[in-house]
């Protein structure tokens, strides 16, 4: 086995805080990813599936009606909701499953909260004929029964997790435990930029297609006879943070580009019920990496809360922790109520029903765009479509 | 420093208990029973919300302890009181090793943790998810406080890494008998002996085998090649299901140790 390593670029965050039982398995993954990360054949393959199967590139859509309604900056939406399966998640599951195939792994495991990543994983497993086991908190299997059915329809086995709080963090722990027990034949497709190194780097690489496309599309859309286009402000929601880092990463070296990550404030960051790890968390270790974490005064991991199940995670990707501490990215938070408003705003102004996760980003845009000049530009990551949330939202608006 | 000499006196049967399961007063009673038994080292798990390396039995014991609001601070205080009470009769014949998630240590603070472990009389610390690189310098702080840092070696750990782990440990090496999480298994994986041999080749540290050891015959088997055997889930489960827990533990110490049965 090659000893190839991948450099971690966001120290002291990240790392490999894992039991020794997992070390050799993680080393094998790191070596494989180091081998294929810059392999033209791998990328040709990935590009094929992203374009022909998922429908990339996704449009960078100028949201004229929303911009007009808010009366300030011109707003572009990066339409990740138009991907196959309805969200950015598939960018990552396609990347990881191609790696799993090259490593000769036949058994795929994943964790899921609301079921979006579980569906995206079950989808690619169906596509490539691989066994798929999805761990999902028992609470979530009840709340998201339809997604459980979707995964089963795609041929996956959904395992309800009854440990701890029976939610996403426990499903993630259970997936890691499964992996420790099956180190030889199993590949763990993690759903966000979390977990031990190299996952946060690898998932970011697979999601960076969002920002690379947006950068090129923005340059084309804003090309004028009067010189270079003005630098945009980027906005994206942050749960684990994969769509946000995917949009931000290709722009990081341009200091003129402002970036804002939007966390879920749930019922308010002053309450106990929120998911704002960067805004209100403390540094700590969960699921193999060092980052910001919602925890009790005694260092126990707290349950997160958000109306949007995809943001309902007590940790956050370590690269976001790094970008918060060095000040490159500003992190704000949006409440359940504000997200619900934005959900309806985008539906009514643009005819686009956003995922509740993405509605958090839209809500922050609705707050700041009116104060910006018409010459200013924003790019918002519309990470997913809202069909999955319609029944849930109906209960709140009834 | 504390633990290595104990293995010179014989093979060690090391029970694992979750601190605060079912409550801290009972855990202290358990420690007193063990202090009166041939057991010389006990592993005390500090309850954590997300015990990554543990199977269902120990996960459930952590949940029971957390429902009692057991914290690292309270366990440290319980250990201090235990050692004062038992120590009144002479040297305490039982050494305590903490097994805990690294987040609890980080959150407590590295320096205060080392100091308070020493103050309470904790002999060793094992944090399964502490990286070998030890980013916050835990080992040095523990060493200065006179507390051992025990590390894990698994059957998949390559030889050069085994060497580095041994060089950065003290007390003993905890050998993971198998991949996977804690919990009873039908037999002890034969790879455990090969792992112990790999440790012997590079280090003088005692090697104790854990994970999946649930029966007396497993302990006998492990004692044939290693310096100690750690029994966790099987004991935690037996105590949880027992009506007279103190009596169950007393019987366990009598019947489970091949040297004394």
SS3 annotation, chain A: CCCCCCCCCCCCCECCCCCHHHHHHHHHHHHHHHHHCCCHHHHHHHHHHHHHCCCCCCCEEECHHHHHHHCCCEEEEEEHHHCHHHECHHHHHHHHHHHHHHCCCCEEEEEECCCHHHHHHHHHHHHHCCEEEEEEEHHHHHHCHHHHHHHHHCCCEEEEECCCCCCHHHHHHHHHHHHHHCCCCEEECCCCCCCCCCHHHHHHHHHCHHHHHHHHHHHHHCCECCECCCCCEEEEECCCCHHHHHHHHHHCCCCCCEEEEEEEEECCCCCCCCCCHHHHCEEEEECCEEEEECECCCCCECCCCCCCHHHCCCECCHHHHHHHHCCCCEEEEEEHHHHHHHHHHHHHHHCCCECHHHHHHHHHHHHHHHHCCCCCEEEEEECEECHHHHHHHHHHHC
CA distance B127 to chain A (A): 9
Tokens of B144: 């200065």
Is-catalytic flag, B227?
Answer: no
- Pairing state between β A289-293 and A60-62: unpaired
Tokens of B205: 């540290």
CA distance B169 to chain A (A): 14
Nearest-CA residue of chain B relative to A23?
B157
Percent of chain B with pLDDT strictly greater than 70: 98
Interface mutation vs chain B, best among A177, A284, A291, A294, most B CBs within 10 Å: A177
How crowded is residue B15: how many other Cβ atoms within 10 Å of its Cβ?
A: 25
H or E stretch including B194? helix B191-202
Q: Considering only CB atoms, which chain A residues are within 8 Å of B102?
A: 17, 285
CA distance B83 to chain A (A): 24
Q: Considering only CB atoms, which chain A residues are within 8 Å of B164?
A: none
Q: What is the pLDDT of residue A2?
A: 46
Of A23, A287, A299, the CB nearest to B157: A23
Q: Are A357 and A212 in contact (CB under 8 A)?
A: no
Touching check for B168 and chain A: CB below 8 Å?
no
**Nearest Cα residue to A140 out of A170, A105, A120:** A170
Q: What is the pLDDT of residue B1?
A: 55
Nearest-CA residue of chain A relative to B58?
A163
d(CA A254, CA A217): 16
Assess whether pLDDT exceeds 90 at residue B92: no
* Mean pLDDT, range B245-249, rounded to an integer: 95
Read off φ and ψ for residue A25, nearest 5 degrees.
Answer: -65, -45
Q: Are B110 and B141 in contact (CB under 8 A)?
A: yes
Interface mutation vs chain A, best among B45, B52, B173, most A CBs within 10 Å: B52
Q: Calculate the average pLDDT of chain B.
A: 94
Q: Are A324 and A294 in contact (CB under 8 A)?
A: no
Touching check for B251 and chain A: CB below 8 Å?
no
Q: Considering only CB atoms, which chain A residues are within 8 Å of B70?
A: none
Cα Rg of chain B (Å, integer): 17
Q: Are A174 and A163 in contact (CB under 8 A)?
A: yes
Q: Give pTM, 2 decimals.
A: 0.96
Assess whether pLDDT exceeds 60 at residue B227: yes
Assess whether pLDDT exceeds 60 at residue B234: yes
Distance of CA A225 to the CA centre of its chain: 37
pLDDT band at B260 (very low <50, low <70, confident <90, very high): low
Assess whether pLDDT exceeds 50 at residue B41: yes
Please give chain A's pLDDT, 398 residues, in tens.
446 899 988 999 999 999 999 999 999 999 999 999 999 999 999 999 999 999 999 999 999 999 999 999 999 999 999 999 999 999 999 999 999 999 999 999 999 988 999 999 999 999 999 999 999 999 889 888 899 999 999 999 999 999 888 889 999 999 999 999 999 999 999 999 999 999 999 999 999 999 999 999 999 999 876 677 789 999 999 999 999 999 999 999 999 999 999 999 999 999 999 999 999 999 999 999 999 999 999 999 999 999 998 898 999 999 999 999 999 999 999 999 999 999 999 999 999 999 999 999 999 999 999 999 999 999 999 999 999 999 999 999 98
- At B168-222, the pLDDT tens digits run 999 999 999 887 888 878 887 888 999 999 999 999 999 999 988 989 999 999 9
Read off φ and ψ for residue B198, nearest 5 degrees.
Answer: -65, -35
CA distance A349 to chain B (A): 43
Nearest-CA residue of chain B relative to A12?
B135
Of B48, B130, B181, the CB nearest to A181: B181
Contact B103 A285 (CB under 8 A): yes
Of A24, A286, A299, the CB nearest to B156: A24
For chain B, the maximum distance between any two Cα atoms, rounded to a whole number of angstroms, is: 48
Bridge partners, A62 (sequence order): A76
* CB contact residues (below 8 A), chain A span 289-328, against chain B: 290, 293, 295, 298-301
Contact A285 B102 (CB under 8 A): yes
- Share of chain B residues as helix, strand and coil, in percent rounded to the nearest 5: 45, 15, 40
Q: What is the pLDDT of residue B70?
A: 98
**Residue bearing tokens 């543990």:** B54
Nearest-5° Cα angle at B104, B87 to B3: 40
Of A181, A284, A299, the CB nearest to B180: A181
d(CA A169, CA A103): 27
CA distance B60 to chain A (A): 8
* CB contact residues (below 8 A), chain B span 141-160, against chain A: 151-154, 156-158
Read off φ and ψ for residue A110, nearest 5 degrees.
Answer: -155, 160
The predicted complex's ipTM stands at 0.95
Q: Given the residues A8, A30, A111, A139, select the one marked as catalytic.
A: A111
A vs B: CB pairs below 8 A: 107
- Pairing state between β A74-79 and A60-62: antiparallel
Buried b / exposed e over B171-200, threshold 16 CB at 10 Å, is: bbbbbbbbbbbbbbbeebbebbbebbebbe
Is-catalytic flag, A89?
Answer: yes
The CA–CA distances, whole Å, from A41 to A38, A98, A99, A224, B156 equal 9, 11, 12, 36, 31
Helix axes B233-241, B56-67, angle to 10 degrees: 50
The CA–CA distances, whole Å, from A232 to A327, A385, B68 equal 17, 23, 52
How crowded is residue A243: how many other Cβ atoms within 10 Å of its Cβ?
A: 33
Interface mutation vs chain B, best among A185, A298, A321, most B CBs within 10 Å: A298
Q: Given the residues A89, A215, A302, A388, select the one marked as catalytic.
A: A89
Q: Considering only CB atoms, which chain A residues are within 8 Å of B157?
A: 20, 23-24
Q: Considering only CB atoms, which chain A residues are within 8 Å of B46?
A: none
Touching check for A163 and chain B: CB below 8 Å?
yes
């Amino acid at each position: 086995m090659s000893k190839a390593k991948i450099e971690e670029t966001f120290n002291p965050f990240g790392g490999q805080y894992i039991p020794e039982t997992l070390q050799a398995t993680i080393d094998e993954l790191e070596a494989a990813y180091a081998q294929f990360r810059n392999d033209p054949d791998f990328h040709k393959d990935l590009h094929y599936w992203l374009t022909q199967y998922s429908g990339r590139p996704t449009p960078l859509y100028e949201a004229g009606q929303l911009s007009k309604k808010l009366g300030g900056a011109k707003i572009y939406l990066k339409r990740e909701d138009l991907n196959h399966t309805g969200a950015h998640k598939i960018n990552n599951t396609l990347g990881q499953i191609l790696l799993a195939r090259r490593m000769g792994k036949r058994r795929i495991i994943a964790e899921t909260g609301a079921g979006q990543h579980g569906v995206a994983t079950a989808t690619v497993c169906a596509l490539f004929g691989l066994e798929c086991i999805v761990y999902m908190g028992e609470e979530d299997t009840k709340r998201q029964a339809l997604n459980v059915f979707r995964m089963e329809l795609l041929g996956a086995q959904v395992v309800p997790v009854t440990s701890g709080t029976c939610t996403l963090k426990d499903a993630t722990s259970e997936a890691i435990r499964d992996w420790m027990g099956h180190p030889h034949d199993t590949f763990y497709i993690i759903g966000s930029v979390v977990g031990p190194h190299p996952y946060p780097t690898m998932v970011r690489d697979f999601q960076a297609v969002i920002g690379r496309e947006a950068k090129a599309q923005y340059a084309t859309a804003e090309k004028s006879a009067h010189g270079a286009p003005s630098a945009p402000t980027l906005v994206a929601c942050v749960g684990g943070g994969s769509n946000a880092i995917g949009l931000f990463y290709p722009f990081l070296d341009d200091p003129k580009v402002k970036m804002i990550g939007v966390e879920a404030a749930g019922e308010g960051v002053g309450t106990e019920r929120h998911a704002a790890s960067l805004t209100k968390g403390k540094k700590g270790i969960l699921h193999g990496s060092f980052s910001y974490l919602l925890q009790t005064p005694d260092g126990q991991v707290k349950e997160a809360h958000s109306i949007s199940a995809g943001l309902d995670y007590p940790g956050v990707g370590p690269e976001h922790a790094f970008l918060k501490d060095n000040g490159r990215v500003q992190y704000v938070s949006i409440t359940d109520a504000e997200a619900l408003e934005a959900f309806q705003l985008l539906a009514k102004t643009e005819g686009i029903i956003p995922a509740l996760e993405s509605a958090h980003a839209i809500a922050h845009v609705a707050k700041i765009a009116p104060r910006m000049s018409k010459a200013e530009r924003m790019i918002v990551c519309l990470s997913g479509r809202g069909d999955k949330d319609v029944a849930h939202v109906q209960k709140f608006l009834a | 420093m504390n633990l290595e000499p104990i293995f010179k006196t014989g093979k060690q049967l090391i029970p694992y208990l979750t601190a605060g399961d079912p409550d801290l007063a009972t855990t202290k009673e358990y420690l007193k029973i063990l202090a009166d038994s041939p057991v010389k080292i006990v592993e005390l798990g500090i309850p954590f919300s997300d015990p990554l390396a543990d199977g269902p039995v120990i996960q459930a014991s952590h949940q029971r302890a957390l429902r009692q609001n057991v914290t690292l601070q309270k366990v440290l205080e319980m250990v201090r009181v235990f050692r004062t009470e038992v120590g009144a009769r002479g040297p305490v014949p039982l050494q305590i090793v903490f097994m805990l998630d690294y987040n609890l240590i980080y959150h407590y603070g590295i320096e205060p943790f080392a100091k308070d472990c020493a103050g309470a009389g904790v002999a060793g610390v094992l944090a399964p998810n502490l990286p070998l690189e030890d980013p916050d310098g835990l080992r040095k702080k523990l060493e200065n406080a006179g507390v051992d840092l025990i590390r894990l070696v698994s059957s998949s750990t390559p030889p050069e890494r085994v060497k580095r782990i041994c060089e950065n440990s003290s007390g003993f090496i905890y050998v993971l008998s198998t991949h996977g999480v804690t919990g009873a298994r039908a037999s002890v994986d034969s790879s455990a002996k090969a792992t112990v041999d790999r440790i012997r080749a590079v280090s003088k540290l005692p090697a104790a085998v854990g994970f999946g050891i649930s029966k007396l015959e497993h302990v006998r088997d492990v004692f044939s090649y290693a310096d100690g055997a750690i029994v966790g889930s099987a004991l935690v489960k037996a105590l949880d299901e027992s009506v007279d827990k103190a009596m169950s533990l007393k019987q366990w110490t009598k019947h489970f140790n091949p040297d004394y049965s």
